[in-house]
C-alpha cells in the first residue's frame, strides 16, 4: 500500500475519541504517542487531521477503507486531509468541534499534541474526563494571578467583542497541548474558537505558531485563548499541575516534549556535550517507539537508544551553568 493522500470515506464514530493534528515529520511523534496510548489499554477511535501524504508507517496496519486502519488491539485510526487557513495549533478548537458536530465523538473527546507520550492507564484518563474540562498547568506563567496584565489585555478585547465580564477568577495558566472533555461541554470549545477569531480580528497572524514576543496580547494564540476561555467558563474544570506533563518531577500521566528539537530529531550525544542530556520525556519516547507502530527500523531505534544512553552518562559530568 502506498502512502497516498486520502480521506475517510465511511462514517466512523465512537463514544471515546482521541484526536490530534500533524504535518511533516510530526507523524513520527504521533506514531509514538499512539503506541503509548495503546500500551495504556485504549481501544477506541483515534481521529487524525493531517496535511500532505499519509505516514509511511500506515502500511504496517490493516486497512479497513480509505484513510481508515485498525491497530493490533482493535483500535481504529482514521485520517482526514485538512487545509485550514491557519497553523494547525490554532485550528484545535475548530477540529474538535467538528468531530462533535458530525457525531464522530459521541461521549468523550481528547486532544493530544503529537509530541506527547502517555504514561498512565487509559482507565485513569477516562475517569478524569467525567469530572469536567481536563487541563494541565504550564510552567511558563503557570501561576498567573487574576489581574495579571496579560489577562487584563485579553479581557479588554473580550469586552469589546461582547463577552461581558469574566465569570471565574482564574489563577493558573494552562498548556494547550492536551484537552479532554465530555461532548456536553462543547460550549467551551466554541468559546475557545471564538477567542482565536477575536485575535484574528485584532490583526493577529494565526498562520504561524508564535509571532512577536510575550509582551504581545496574543503571542501563543491557541494557548492564550484557551486560558481566556477558562476565565469565562461555566463548565466545570478539572485541572492538574505541571507535573502531569513532566515539566516538573512527581507526575504520572504524560510527558510533553515542548521545544525544539523534538525527541525523534535529537542528537543525544551532541546535546549532552552542551550540558543538555536526554530528558525523562526523551527516554519515555524511546521506550514507546517500539510497539504496534514502528516509525523507525530496528537499527535506527537501537542507534538512538545507544546515543541516549551515552548522552545520559555524559550528562552526569556536564552540568549547565
**Which DSSP category does 218 fall into?**
S
Please give the backbone phi and psi of residue 127, each rounded to the nearest 5 degrees, phi first. Answer: -65, -40
Mean pLDDT of 64-77: 93
Residue 261: asked if its preceding bond is cis (omega within 30°), the reply is: yes
Domain ranges of the chain: 14-245, 260-315
* Mean pLDDT rounded to a whole number for the chain: 94
The residue written with cell numbers 524511546 in the block is: 286
According to the model, what pLDDT value does residue 8 have? 64
Residue 198, C-alpha cell as written in the block: 477575536
12: pLDDT strictly greater than 50? yes
Q: What are phi and psi of 215, to 5 degrees?
A: -70, -25
Decide if pLDDT at 267 tops 90: yes
pLDDT band at 30 (very low <50, low <70, confident <90, very high): very high
pTM score of the predicted model:
0.94
Tell me how far apart the alpha carbons of residues 248 and 15 are, in angstroms, rounded to a whole number.
Answer: 33
Domain 14-245: which CATH number of 3.40.640.10, 3.30.450.40, 3.60.15.10, 3.90.550.10: 3.90.550.10
Rounded CA-CA distance 26/49 in Å is 12
Query: Per-residue pLDDT tens for 288-318?
Result: 999 999 999 999 999 999 999 999 999 988 7
The phi, psi pair for 53, rounded to 5°, reads -75, 160
Q: What is the DSSP string of 79-112?
A: EEE---SS-GGGGHHHHHHHHHHTTSEEEEEEEE
pLDDT tens for 158-189 read 999 999 999 999 999 999 999 999 999 999 99
Q: Which three cell numbers stand for residue 171?
A: 489563577
**Residue-level pLDDT at 4:** 43
Amino acid at each position: 500500500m502506498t502512502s497516498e493522500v486520502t480521506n475517510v470515506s465511511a462514517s466512523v464514530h465512537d463514544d471515546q475519541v482521541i484526536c490530534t493534528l500533524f504535518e511533516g515529520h510530526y507523524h513520527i511523534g504521533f506514531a509514538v504517542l499512539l503506541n503509548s496510548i495503546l500500551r495504556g489499554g485504549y481501544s477506541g477511535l483515534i481521529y487524525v487531521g493531517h496535511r500532505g501524504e499519509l505516514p509511511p508507517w500506515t502500511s504496517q496496519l490493516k486497512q479497513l477503507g480509505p484513510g481508515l486502519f485498525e491497530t493490533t488491539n482493535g483500535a481504529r485510526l482514521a485520517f482526514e486531509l485538512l487545509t485550514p487557513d491557519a497553523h494547525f495549533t490554532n485550528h484545535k478548537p475548530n477540529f474538535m468541534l467538528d468531530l462533535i458536530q458530525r457525531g464522530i465523538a459521541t461521549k468523550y473527546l481528547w486532544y493530544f499534541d503529537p509530541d506527547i507520550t502517555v504514561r498512565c492507564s487509559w482507565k485513569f484518563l477516562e475517569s478524569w474526563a467525567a469530572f469536567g474540562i481536563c487541563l494541565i498547568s504550564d510552567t511558563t506563567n503557570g501561576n498567573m494571578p487574576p489581574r495579571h496584565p496579560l489577562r487584563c489585555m485579553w479581557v479588554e478585547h473580550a469586552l469589546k467583542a461582547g463577552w461581558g465580564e469574566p465569570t471565574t477568577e482564574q489563577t493558573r495558566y494552562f498548556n494547550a497541548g492536551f484537552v479532554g472533555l465530555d461532548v456536553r461541554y462543547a460550549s467551551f470549545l466554541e468559546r475557545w474558537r471564538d477567542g482565536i477569531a477575536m485575535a484574528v480580528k485584532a490583526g493577529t497572524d494565526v498562520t504561524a505558531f508564535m509571532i512577536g514576543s510575550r509582551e504581545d496580547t496574543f503571542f501563543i494564540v491557541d494557548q492564550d485563548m484557551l486560558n481566556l476561555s477558562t476565565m469565562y467558563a461555566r463548565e466545570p474544570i478539572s485541572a492538574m499541575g505541571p507535573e502531569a506533563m513532566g515539566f516538573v518531577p512527581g507526575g504520572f500521566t504524560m510527558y510533553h516534549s515542548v521545544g525544539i528539537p523534538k525527541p525523534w530529531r535529537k542528537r543525544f550525544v551532541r546535546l549532552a556535550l552542551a550540558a543538555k542530556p536526554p530528558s525523562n520525556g526523551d527516554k519515555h519516547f524511546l521506550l514507546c517507539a517500539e510497539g504496534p507502530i514502528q516509525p523507525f527500523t530496528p537499527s535506527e531505534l537501537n542507534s538512538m537508544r545507544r546515543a541516549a544512553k551515552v548522552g545520559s552518562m555524559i550528562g552526569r559530568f556536564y552540568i549547565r551553568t
